[in-house]
Chain A
Amino acid sequence: MGKIMMINASPRAPKSNSKEYAKLFAQYFSSETEYCEVKKSNHLMLCQKTENFSDILFVFPLYADSLPVTLLNFLKTLEVNPPQRKPTISVLVNCGFIEPEQNNIAVEMLRLYCTTNGYPFGSVLKIGSGEAILTTPFRIFLKAKIKKFAASIKTQKYDTFQVTMPISKKMFIRASDVYWEKYGKKNGVTKEEMKTMKIEE
């Protein structure tokens, strides 16, 4: 294989968890990588660029149980502006909830996209607790999985991997309460205020 193009399709790419995941991937991937972010105005440039790569890695968050609109729109552009040589497409998806399986639909959508549009499908890494895991000691499990994932692409022994925080769901909920309470506090918003049941009132 040659070079891999990492395409971050998070709507908040410059400040995203996906960016951190892509950074870790680049650390563990022993061939050349290039990092790009999907913006509203750069779709065509990215499509042209795919021409120079043997592999693409889409890095993105799960949004409403599927692909974020940022990625959906880019895929639509790529469909009408495809490269002549189709790179192998791999997937690194993260979701906020603890269950990495919640990412399955997004993966299936991309797999179908690849089949329909003639791209070989590569490896998959599904991350659960993706909003939190980077800042916890469980980061080591994440790194180990990213390493394996990267090696599978490098050696073209494509496979599916998943990782999450190895704690009970109850503990995850408690930890996320603390996380979000702190997040609100930084904005001067109390836990009670965050718990309002009102919508636009």
Chain B
Amino acid sequence: MNLIVSDRNLAVFQENHPSIKFVDLSILNIANCVGCFGCWTKTPGKCVIRDDAVKVYPLIAASEQILYVSKIKYGGYDTIMKTMLERNIPVQQAFIRLFQGETHHVQRNVAAKKAVIIGYGDISAEEQKIFCRLVERNAKNMSFESYSVKFVSENEVEDAVRNEVAIWEK
């Protein structure tokens, strides 16, 4: 499955792209993770907060190609995207394994994925550097087998997404 998870509405959402699933987080109701570990130790694989996030993390897990579109804040994802990423931990087990020489959680049924991250906003060089290092770390916890990061200004987002969609649909 090809998936786009975005923190804002995109015009490209209005068109028909049968091979791509779009998720616009900005219209969903997603509370922040409270760190209860219920998804590991009470109802494994399911978050105990039954809001819209529970529809999103199964899609993220199943996707083989994923495009994240997020505003950048302080060198990381801004609130909307970060909230979803924190709510994504039901896709992992509590149990830990050695992965690329570091300790990381065992993943449940999560497809290995090719990821593209479009970070937008007015992003300084320093922030870009931090964000790239962040995605490099995310890759290990979020099953990216390969990834690329693109930075654009707010009004370039639509074009950047269209480019990626065109590559997927080729």
Contacts and interface: CB of A to CB of B under 8 A. Distances in A.
B41 interface: yes
A194 B77 CA distance: 30
B109 A183 contact: no
Contacts, number: 149
Contacts of B134: 65-66, 105
A152 interface: no
A99 B127 contact: no
A12 interface: yes
B102 A199 contact: no
A193 B37 contact: no
A198 B40 CA distance: 12
B159 to A, nearest CB: 27
A109 to B, nearest CB: 5
Interface string B15-26: 000000000000
Interface in A68-101: 68-70, 72-73, 75-76, 97-99
Nearest to A79: B74
B68 to A, nearest CB: 12
Interface stretch (A28-36, A46-54, A133-141, A172-180): A172-180
Nearest to B54: A200
A195 B45 CA distance: 9
Interface string A17-55: 000000000000000000000000000000000000000
Contacts of A113: 74
A68 B76 CA distance: 11
Contacts of A177: 95-96
Contacts of B65: none
B35 A65 contact: no
Interface size, A (range): 35 or more
Contact of B109 (A70, A76, A97, A198): A198
Interface in B35-76: 35-37, 40-42, 44-46, 54, 57-58, 61, 73-76
B156 to A, nearest CB: 23
Contacts of A99: 102-103
B90 interface: yes
Interface stretch (B80-88, B143-151, B161-169): B80-88
Given A64-B85, A197-B108, A197-B109, 17 more contacts: A11-B33, A11-B34, A11-B35, A64-B86, A64-B88, A64-B138, A66-B76, A69-B33, A72-B76, A72-B79, A97-B104, A108-B75, A176-B96, A183-B41, A189-B42, A196-B108, A200-B54
In order of increasing CB-CB distance, the 9 nearest A-B pairs are A180-B94, A65-B137, A12-B35, A97-B103, A66-B76, A184-B41, A64-B85, A197-B109, A200-B58
30 contacts: A10-B35, A11-B33, A12-B36, A63-B33, A64-B138, A65-B134, A65-B141, A97-B103, A97-B104, A99-B102, A99-B103, A105-B133, A109-B130, A110-B74, A112-B130, A113-B74, A169-B102, A180-B94, A180-B95, A183-B40, A184-B40, A184-B94, A189-B44, A194-B41, A194-B44, A195-B95, A196-B108, A199-B45, A199-B61, A200-B45
